[in-house]
Structure 1
Amino acid sequence: MAEDGKIKSVHLMVEGRVQAVGFRYFTWQTAQSFDITGWVRNREDGSVEIAAEGAADHVDHFVQSIKKGSTFSRVKHVDVHEYDHAEHYASFDILNSI
Structure 2
Amino acid sequence: MRILKSLSIIVHGKVQGVGFRYFALQLALENEITGWVKNMDDGGVEIEAVGDEHQLEKFIFNLRKGNRFIKVENLQFNDITVKKPHKSFKVKY
TM-score (norm 2): 0.92
Equivalent residue in structure 1 for 2:90, among 86, 90, 93: 93
1:23/1:70 contact within 8 Å kept: no
> 1:2-37: CA deviations, max 9, x gaps?
xx2310111100000000000000000000000000
> Is 2:59 the counterpart of 1:62?
yes
User: Equivalent of 1:42, from 39, 43, 46?
Assistant: 39
Q: Which ranges of 4 or more aligned residues in structure 1 deviate by more than 3 Å?
A: none
User: Share of identical aligned residues, percent?
Assistant: 37
Runs of 5+ in structure 2 lacking a partner?
Answer: none
1:21 is aligned, of 3, 18, 21, to 18
Q: Counterpart of 2:59 in 1: which secondary structure?
A: helix
Query: In the TM superposition, what is the alpha-carbon distance from 1:88 to its structure 2 partner?
Result: 1.9
Deviation at 1:71, TM superposition (A): 2.3
Q: TM-score, normalised by structure 1?
A: 0.88
Superposition CA RMSD, Å: 1.1
Distance (Å, rounded) in 2 between the aligned partners of 1:62 and 1:36: 8
Structure 1 unaligned blocks of 5 or more: none
Letter in 2 for 1:19: Q
Q: How many matched pairs? A: 92
